[in-house]
Amino acid sequence: MTSPDHTVLCKYRYDPLDRLASSSPVGQADVQRFYQKNRLATEIQGASRRTVFQHEDLLLAQQRHVDGVVDTTLLATDQQRSVLRVVDKSGVEPVAYSAYGHHPAESGLTSLLGFNGERRDPVTGHYLLGNGYRAYNPVLMRFNSPDSLSPFDEGGLNAYGYCGGDPVGVVDPSGHALLKIPSGRRAIDSVSWTKFKRIAKPVVSTIGKPSSSSANASVTLHNSVRSLSADVSSAKTAASPGGVLPPTSSFASSSLTEPVSGRQSSQFTDMQRARRRLIVEVSADLPSGESLASIRYNSLKQRTEDAAYLMNYYAENTRTSKGSKITAHDSLVNYAKKYDDALARFNEYDKKYTAQYGTFIRDPDKNE
């Protein structure tokens, strides 16, 4: 990092996994960064050491060690992991940001992490997303460098844009791909990793586990659903040209003309998103670099959950929409097949990921 007069302000060093390992600000002690499960856990600068405690994605507290003296601070965050309150023995300190994460330097920030649970670089004021991969400038509300991913794939058409212009509903922790922030009931569920347990608990509990000798043994969402699908799958395959079922249900098109509000509107939107994500095929090949590998891991996991969500919906809603040429039963069988394929592809990728990088962040309710 250089100043306008080309004076070097800070030097940055990276580890073999392309994570920011240390920095050397001019006139200050070197800063060392340590990670746990690919998240910043500890930062050491001179005699000062700050450690962050978290449960899954929830920030809990921070400890600061200076010359043997330990100060513990509790952190209150929102669903985006932004630190909004800092609580210590002296009282409560509120923290505020602009929609794009700007926090005036003169107001100070005592916690190590800030906006969206990210570490702000003390020299530039930028957030080095993806553990140092890409600098995001909250004042300009954009990245300083283009995304290395293709603009026709996960990169997006605006190579410098942040969160697609929606920093409230979307986050970008990797600097590569957008993640939608759950709201309402979904936000409550995601806090305890029960987003899909409410409708398909067996799906979540099978993700990431070695597949059994039977290809259908892991498909235990609803025994009645699977037995129903098994009974009709051979007949539907024989009746379909080339043995291929229709790719999607006509629920969306038939429902667009019907009034939708409240909870139905939210459910309808969820179904649209799930269908769109299932349209895009995701390879089970392991890309180079842990950051990209983690993104693909989450994409494959999301596809499995989407297929499970739609499969469960049509198991519980058997009425075919008015004017639809495809019955709810057809959609049920279709998404049951998609779930089988998505889960098999996820398990295949999980084995490759684990062999290369070790165990991914797991659901604590699993007995593995």
Q: What is the pLDDT of residue 182?
A: 63
Q: What is the pLDDT of residue 260?
A: 37
Average pLDDT of span 56-74:
90
Q: What is the mean pLDDT of residues 313-318?
A: 82
Nearest alpha-carbon partner for 280 in 256, 262, 296, 267: 296
**pLDDT one-digit tens code per residue, 323-336:** 566 787 888 888 89
Question: Which range is most confident: 234-243, 254-263, 280-289?
Answer: 280-289
- Per the prediction, the chain carries an average pLDDT of 75
- Nearest-5° Cα angle at 27, 21 to 28: 45
Please, which pLDDT band fits residue 322 given cuts at 50, 70 and 90? low
Q: pLDDT per residue over 73-82, tens digit each? A: 999 999 888 9
Residue 235 has pLDDT above 70, yes or no: no
How far, in Å, CA of 343 to CA of 337, rounded?
A: 10
Per-residue model confidence (pLDDT) at position 320: 67
What pLDDT band is residue 248 in, cutting at 50, 70 and 90? very low
What pLDDT is attached to residue 223?
A: 41
Pairing mode, strands 48-55 and 39-45: antiparallel
- Provide the residue type at 207 as one letter: I
Domain ranges of the chain: 10-171, 185-357
Q: What are phi and psi of 356, to 5 degrees?
A: -90, -45
Q: Does 359 score more than 70 pLDDT?
A: no
Tokens of 165: 């212009």
Residue 346: the pLDDT is: 92
Report the SS3 class of residue 252.
Answer: helix
pLDDT for position 73: 93
Query: Between these two residues, 64 and 290, which has the higher pLDDT value?
Result: 64
Measured distance CA(35)–CA(295) in Å, rounded: 18
- Could you give the C-alpha distances from 299 to 24, 80, 294, 346, in angstroms and in order? 36, 19, 9, 9
Rounded CA-CA distance 119/202 in Å is 36
Q: Is the pLDDT of residue 199 over 50?
A: no
Whether 294 shows a pLDDT value over 50: the answer reads yes
| The amino acid at 323 | G
For residue 196, pLDDT over 60 is answered with no
Average pLDDT estimate for 160-170: 88
d(CA 53, CA 146): 32
pLDDT > 90? residue 154: no
pLDDT digits (tens, 9 = 90+) for 114-145: 999 999 998 999 999 999 999 999 999 999 99
